[in-house]
Each structure stands twice: as structure tokens, then as C-alpha cells.
Amino acid sequence: MRGLHPARIGRPVNRHISVHDIQTLNDMFMRKILVLLLLSLPNLAHAQLMRVGGGLAFSSGIDYNHNRTGNPGLYVKPYLKIMPKTFVIPSFTIFNRYKKSTFTDKVQNYMFHGDVDLQYEVFKQEEIKIVLFGGLNATGLISRYEMLVDVGGEGLDNTSDLGLGANIGAGLEMIINDYYDAVLTAKYIAGTYSQLVINVGVLYYINPKNHRKGRR
């Protein structure tokens, strides 16, 4: 019987997570989210626009073109009901510009989000709901640089980019009245421009009768 090498006994195994490993996990997660969204497509033919959400978005931010992105953002989300407790939610968010200005130059960064999420209600008690969601994200970035005084040396370039990612998050919905709910959500975007995003806003119900029916 082959014995263990003395040098290997009790030696911990060191495993380092590389950037490639993280990217592979992100790709696998994005594929699974995409499959879930594709499976929900047949139900979109019978989807109902039940409510519309809007409010403020706060991002942990992105380093882009040697500067940061700004806060807060404004978002809008239509909620399309495809099954009981299940919604497909496309959304668009535009963030406040980041601006850094000195005597010699000025840079402005802009960030935009486009998302499609699949949301499911996992808990409900009286006036409170807890939801989970996952989906796909596209983050658009634009950076504009202006040299105000030429003091020599190189400045920054005007640049733009679009990166894809996968969303995973949870939210809390609180009933205000027949027409409105308050909503708080947090999600992590894993992808080209990974970031944490918190949304605070309201939901407006297109038909308050459906809202009252759902509260029973």
C-alpha cells in the first residue's frame, strides 16, 4: 500500500480564486438567469401591467476613466404580472453625473442601467411583502474630458463603454393605501462593472381593485 509523503501530512491545501474563476462563475450565473427569463417568455403573451414603480437609486459606484460615477439615480419600472406572485420587470436608471473640476481640466462621468428581472413574492403578512429577484443588467458609461488650461502633459480621453452583468437581490414592499406601496430593494450586479445598488421608491397600482383583492 502506498504511504503518504511525510511532507504532505498536515499541510493545508492553498487554493487561490483567480479573476478567471470569478468571471467563470459570473458567466454561469448569467446563463442560468437567461434561461429563467427565456422560460418565462411564453407567459409574457398573457402578461398584465399591474403597477409602475419609480424612485431613487444609489450605487456603490464604478471607477471609470480614472474617476468615479455619481449618485443618486432616478429609475422607472413597469411590473408585468405573468403568474401569481411572479413579475417580469424591465427597468431603466439614469444616475447623476460625477464631476471633477480643477483650474486646468474637467472630467464628467455618466452612468446608465438597463435591467430585466424576474421577481417572486416569497413572504406576505398583513401590510408587508418580501420578494426575491434575479435578472440581467446592462451598464452604460460615458466619460467626457475637457482641458481648460494647457500646462503640458497628457490629459484623459473621451470614452464610453457598455458592460453586461447578472442581478440578484431582495426587496421589501409595504402597503400605503389602495393606490401606492413603498418599496426598498437591494441588489448586487456581478459582471463587467460589479456594484451594489439600493432602490427606494413607490409603486403605483394601475387598477386599485386588484391591489385590494391581493391584500385579502
Q: Domains of the chain (ranges plus CATH)?
A: 17-215 (2.40.160.20)
pLDDT digits (tens, 9 = 90+) for 50-100: 999 999 999 999 999 999 999 999 999 999 998 899 999 999 999 999 999
Considering 37-41, 132-136, 201-205, the range whose residues carry the highest mean pLDDT is: 201-205
Does 42 or 58 have the greater pLDDT score? 58
Is the pLDDT assigned to residue 13 strictly greater than 70?
Answer: no
Q: What pTM, to 2 d.p., does this model score?
A: 0.80
Rounded to whole angstroms, how far apart are CA atoms 115 and 37? 12
Q: Which pairs with CB-CB distance under 8 Å and at least 24 residues apart come from 151-160?
A: 151/104, 155/105, 156/65, 156/66, 156/105, 156/107, 157/65, 159/65
Is the pLDDT assigned to residue 208 strictly greater than 50?
Answer: yes
Rounded to whole angstroms, how far apart are CA atoms 134 and 115? 10
pLDDT of residue 15: 54
Q: CA 24: distance to chain centroid? A: 19
Q: How many residues does the chain have?
A: 216
The answer for residues whose C-beta is within 8 angstroms of residue 108's C-beta and 6 or more apart is 97, 98, 99, 100, 143, 144
> What percentage of residues in the chain have a pLDDT greater than 90?
62
**DSSP-derived 3-state class of residue 17:** coil
Q: How far is CA 188 from CA 24, 168, 191, in A?
A: 17, 6, 10
Name the pLDDT band for 47 (thresholds 50, 70, 90): confident
